[in-house]
């Protein structure tokens, strides 16, 4: 029971969740402090659009790409800038590889940046922009954003407190999450990086395994926060991409980290149960060769981050080859596609199709090189 169920749940939080939480909070604070300066400068230098778009897109999470979408809808940036950001972004699945192997993540994100940069400039050079076809038409009333986009799509604190009421009475969900993340991070770093023997920690605490206990409790708390947010696929919105305070940044960070943790836990648990009960090791999947590349690129067409997180977690677990992962990473658009679709649906549809072209090309090239 412990190795089959509890261990994967603990690993999801201790190997991914705590690092995601710290990094999301850090990037969120930087975005809160400096984000407007980047976008203001971008609107004054349109030729640098794809460069800045790729830089914003390649930043972990979805917020960097999301801030460009209203700028494009208002005609402030080019379509190539949007495509560069969507090609470069790996959405919230970037947190999975960052927590698993930072050196590998750096190489992967460098490749995403380069592909996004080239794709964006090619799109602008070819003059592709669906919005131009509608510029001469009478202006219509703005399309109302979906409910999950108009609001913070994030933490419903009242619902979270009710769910957590029996375990953590009168403690806000985000506070409970960060209260667990702090000691979990302190335990995870020495254990994950093999700086201390886990058995020694267990013995020092009278037989209680802190890694397992904090990990399982952390994943369960993340699941409660995820449920309180109704499991929305969109963990980033136009509002949360521009958090107005550190408190709001931390609340959103708790929700985003919980979102990632839950889907990683689902992937870890499902994979562990599958391999333990059937002996299946992933080699039987049609995710190798050119078929695997096309599958990865095709899955990248699915909006949102949930499916992409599970797909990336399969790679981390050893279930996917590198070309398949790269094709998916380039093709996927994260949550940034959702607000774009709400404002410019034709542009969103064309953009997500365009990103699959370099995804398939680069994935196929890696098959030859590797």
Please say whether the beta carbons of 327 and 363 come within 8 A: yes
Mean pLDDT for 64-81 is 83
Q: Which of 340, 153, 150, 352 is nearest to 234 (CA)?
A: 153
Count the alpha carbons within 13 Å of 155 in the hemisphere toward its beta carbon.
30
> What sections of the chain are H helices per DSSP?
7-11, 18-44, 49-58, 63-66, 68-73, 79-88, 93-100, 102-125, 147-150, 157-164, 173-192, 198-204, 210-228, 246-278, 289-299, 306-316, 322-331, 337-343, 345-369
Model-level pTM?
Answer: 0.66
What is the reported pLDDT for 135?
Answer: 54
What is the reported pLDDT for 162?
Answer: 47
What is the reported pLDDT for 277?
Answer: 84
Residue 309 has pLDDT above 90, yes or no: no
Residue 38 has pLDDT above 90, yes or no: no
Residue 339 has pLDDT above 80, yes or no: no
Residue 354 has pLDDT above 70, yes or no: yes
What is the reported pLDDT for 134?
Answer: 57
Q: Position of tokens 């699915």?
A: 302
């Amino acid at each position: 029971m412990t190795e089959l169920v509890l261990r994967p749940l603990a690993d999801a939080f201790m190997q991914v969740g705590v690092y995601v939480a710290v990094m999301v909070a850090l990037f969120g604070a930087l975005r809160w402090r400096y984000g407007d300066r980047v976008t203001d400068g971008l609107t004054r230098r349109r030729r640098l659009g794809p460069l800045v778009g790729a830089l914003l897109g390649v930043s972990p999470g979805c917020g960097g790409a999301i801030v460009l979408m209203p700028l494009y809808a208002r005609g402030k940036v080019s379509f190539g800038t949007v495509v560069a950001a969507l090609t470069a972004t790996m959405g919230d699945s970037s947190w999975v590889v960052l927590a698993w192997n930072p050196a590998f993540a750096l190489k992967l994100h460098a490749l995403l940046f380069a592909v996004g940069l080239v794709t964006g400039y090619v799109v602008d050079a070819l003059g592709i922009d669906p919005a131009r076809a509608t510029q001469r038409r009478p202006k219509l009333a703005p399309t109302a954003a979906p409910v999950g986009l108009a609001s913070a799509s994030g933490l419903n604190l009242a619902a979270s407190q009710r769910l957590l009421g029996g375990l953590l009475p009168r403690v806000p969900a985000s506070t409970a999450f960060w209260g667990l993340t702090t000691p979990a991070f302190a335990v995870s770093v020495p254990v994950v990086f093999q700086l201390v023997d886990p058995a020694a920690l267990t013995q020092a605490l009278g037989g209680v395994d802190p890694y397992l206990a904090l990990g399982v409790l952390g994943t369960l708390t993340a699941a409660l926060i995820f449920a309180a947010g109704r499991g929305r696929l969109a963990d980033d919105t136009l509002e949360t991409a521009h958090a107005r305070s550190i408190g709001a940044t931390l609340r959103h960070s708790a929700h985003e980290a919980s979102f990632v943790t839950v889907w990683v836990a689902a992937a870890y648990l499902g994979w562990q149960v599958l391999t333990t009960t059937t002996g299946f090791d992933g080699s039987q999947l049609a995710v190798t060769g050119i078929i695997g590349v096309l599958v990865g690129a095709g899955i990248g067409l699915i909006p949102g981050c949930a499916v992409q997180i599970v797909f990336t977690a399969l790679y981390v677990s050893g279930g996917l080859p590198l070309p398949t992962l790269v094709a998916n990473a380039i093709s996927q658009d994260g949550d940034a596609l959702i607000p774009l679709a709400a404002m410019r649906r034709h542009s969103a549809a064309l953009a997500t199709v365009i990103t699959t072209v370099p995804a398939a090309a680069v994935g196929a090239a890696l098959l030859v090189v590797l």
